[in-house]
Structures are given as structure tokens and as C-alpha cells.
Copies of this chain bind each other. A is one copy, B any other.
Amino acid sequence: MSINMNTSLNTHHHPISRYPVPELKDLPEDMRSRILEVQEKAGFVPNVFLALAHRPAEWRAFIAYHDALLLKDTGHLSKAEREMIIVATSAVNQCLYCVVAHGAILRVYEKKPLLADQVAVNYLKADITPRQRAMLDFAMKVCTASHTVGEADFAALQAHGLDAEDAWDIGAITAFFGLSNRMANLTAMRPNDEFFIMGRVPRPPKTVA
């Protein structure tokens, strides 16, 4: 099985990072197999996997943290809701990579082509539920003024059935993508062109050859 050679190609061949980007073949086996697995699922390799691979030890910790927060099955947050948190807080941090990439994933998960742009520009006017609004209010506070988080904030979540563990989830996703936003901004990480359009148009039906 081979990596799609178009993976790191972007419009007009812009570099995907200010830093050197390793070739897939030069990466340690554990990193390469994880990346191939993502490519298999998404159809392409999201640039974050390659850009951060410049530092293997940090890459492994980053991916482990990412998976711990986004792949877990416990708690009351749907996977789409976790993506909403990422999109809303990444917009505040003005991180192009995360707004675009996770906006795409949000569209795919929710099958709502408008939602990601709404959440990115002004979540207060987005087509979301009051519970999701409370979730994003909490995330925004962690993102911009975490030192002020207090009992009233936990109570506001509780009023929507979101308990202290959910609060941890919201806060940890916000905190982790705050790290991700800063690394993406630092490295001038470029989102794959594919993300911009993903989830905006209905997928063509799969055909059998």
C-alpha cells in the first residue's frame, strides 16, 4: 500500500508548514501506520499529521491527547458537539487550519452544510440547541478567561444535563485545541484544500464497478 503522492500538494503548491515536513517513508513505523490509517478513512492525509511530524515525540503526545479527547465514548457530548467546540474556539484564536479542518468534520458529522460557518463567525446566532449554546459559552470562557471559571459556570451546564465530567471534556477539548491553534499559527500550517469543500455538497452515491 502506498501513500497518495498528492497528499501534500496544495493549490499553487504552497508549503504546508514554515518548518521542514518529513516524507511519510522516512517516519517511524508507528507514525506511518497511523497516518496511512487516516488517509484510508479520509481519502487524504490531513496536513497536521505531516507538519507536526517534524517533532516525533511531540507528535506522539499530540495524537495521544487528541485521541483521548475525541475518540472516547463516555460522556454526554456527541462527536459533532466536540467539533463545534473546536470550531468556535479556534475561530477566536484565529487558527485557519482548525477552523477549516474541523469545520469540515463538523459538517460531515452533523450533515448540516451551514453549521460550521455559523459557529465559526458567531456561535450566538448559529442553528444550535440551547444545550449546545451553554456548552459553547463554557468553552469560550475556558478559551478566553479560564481563571474566571467558577461554580456558576458548572451550574449553567448542569441546567442542560451536562455534568462535571462533561465540563472537563468541554474544557479539555478547548485547552487542547488552544495548544493546536497556537502550533498551527506558529508553523503557518496550511489546511488541505479538500477540507474547504468537504461536507458542503452531498456525496455522490457509491457505485459498483
Interface residues of A (CB under 8 A from B): 11-12, 14, 18-19, 54-55, 57-58, 60-62, 64-65, 67-69, 72, 91, 93-96, 99-100, 112-114, 117-118, 120-122, 124-125, 127, 142-143, 146-150, 164, 167-168, 171-172, 174-176, 178-183, 185-188, 193, 196-197, 200-201
Contacts and interface: CB of A to CB of B under 8 A. Distances in A.
A182 B186 contact: no
Given A96-B118, A125-B96, A182 B142 contact: yes
Contacts of A200: 196-197, 200
B14 A142 contact: no
Contacts of A201: 197, 201
5 contacts: A94-B121, A125-B185, A146-B181, A147-B185, A171-B182
A142 B55 CA distance: 19
Nearest to A196: B114
B127 A99 contact: no
A121 B124 contact: no
Contacts of A67: 57
A204 B178 CA distance: 40
Contact of A148 (B121, B124, B181, B197): B124
Nearest to A171: B186
A152 B50 CA distance: 25
Contacts of A149: 185-186
Central interface residue in A121, A143, A181, A197, by most chain B CB within 10 Å: A121
A68 to B, nearest CB: 4
Nearest to A69: B58
A199 to B, nearest CB: 11
A61 B65 contact: yes
Given A146-B182, A171-B186, 17 more contacts: A14-B127, A57-B64, A64-B64, A96-B117, A96-B122, A96-B125, A114-B196, A120-B120, A122-B185, A125-B147, A142-B186, A146-B186, A171-B182, A175-B180, A175-B186, A178-B179, A179-B179
